[in-house]
Amino acid sequence: MIGVSAGSPANGICTNAGPPGNRIWSRTEVVYDERYANGDWAGGYTKYTCPPGSWAIGYALRGAKVSTLQCASSDNMLGSGTRRTLWMDKGDNRAENLGGDWHNNNYKGQCAQDEHVAGIAFTTSWLRSGTPAAILCRK
């Protein structure tokens, strides 16, 4: 998965390229809480984050709200370098324009080609339905 939209329902964009320099995965894990949220990468929001050494390969919604994040762990070491938050709740935030406008009329967050999605943040606070508001990109 290389990006997520903030629409309702949210859409994702995937690639068959896999994470940078690492295309083999051995097991998956469903994340449904903040147990792996290392640092407050999306202040004030609920953060579903993949564990170290893994990347996001999908997510599930209950209505419009994010309910789980599906992560794949790697047999090889993933990069643990830089990470950054891409907010897409108020506009597009796409490091790459690959895939074109893959969710028309909705804001999108999309990691660069040398990054992988490692988390989704959302809120159910006043007037918010739990749709994705930000993604965590890791190198």
pLDDT at res. 136: 94
Every domain of the chain and the residues it spans: 3-138
Residue 88 in tokens: 């897409």
Q: What is the DSSP string of 84-138?
A: EEEE-SSS-EES--TTSSSSTTS-EEE--TT-EEEEEEE--STT--S-EEEEEEE
pLDDT given at position 85: 93
Q: What's this model's pTM, rounded to 2 decimal places?
A: 0.85
Provide the CB-side half-sphere exposure for 10 (13 A, CA): 32
Return the number of other C-beta atoms located less than 10 Å from residue 56's C-beta. 28
The set of long-range contacts for 94-99, using a CB threshold of 8 Å and a minimum separation of 24, is: 94/3, 95/137, 96/2, 98/2, 98/13, 98/15, 99/2, 99/3, 99/13
What does each of the 139 residues of the chain score in pLDDT, given as a tens digit? Answer: 888 888 777 878 777 665 445 555 678 999 999 999 888 899 999 999 998 888 899 999 898 899 999 998 876 666 566 889 999 888 777 766 666 676 777 788 888 888 889 999 999 887 778 889 999 998 8
- Provide φ and ψ at 138, rounded to 5°: -125, 150
